[in-house]
């Protein structure tokens, strides 16, 4: 009687451990996919910021350029 109880407990432990590992793996997979998607969105946003012209990035340089243009005309 005790032997069957111990065997059943061992089988149950292995089954639940396997199920837990599968669920942990699925969770890690979902989180990795979300992280990769967020990283891709960050890189795309940075790329658009780099490729867009920064007209008013430096007010001193902008005012100096305006002065140079007005002096030449």
| Positive or negative: CA dihedral 42, 47, 53, 56 | positive
Tell me which residue of 17, 14, 36, 35 sits closest to 25, measured CA to CA.
17
Q: Residue 65 has what pLDDT?
A: 55
Average pLDDT per consecutive 10 residues, the chain (73 residues; last block may be shorter): 85 97 98 96 85 59 56 54
d(CA 61, CA 40): 33
What does the pLDDT read at residue 46?
A: 85
**The pTM of the whole model exceeds 0.85:** no
Predicted local distance difference test score (pLDDT) of residue 54: 59
Say how many Å lie between the first and final Cα of the chain, rounded: 104
What is the pLDDT, as a whole number, of residue 70?
Answer: 61
For residue 62, which of 49, 50, 53 has the smallest C-alpha distance? 53
């Amino acid at each position: 009687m005790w032997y069957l109880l111990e065997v059943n407990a061992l089988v149950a432990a292995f089954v639940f451990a396997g199920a837990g590992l599968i669920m942990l793996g699925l969770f890690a997979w979902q989180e990795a996919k979300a992280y990769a998607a967020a990283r891709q969105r960050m890189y795309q946003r940075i790329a658009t910021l780099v490729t867009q012209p920064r007209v008013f990035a430096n007010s001193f340089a902008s005012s100096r350029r305006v002065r140079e243009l007005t002096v030449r005309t």
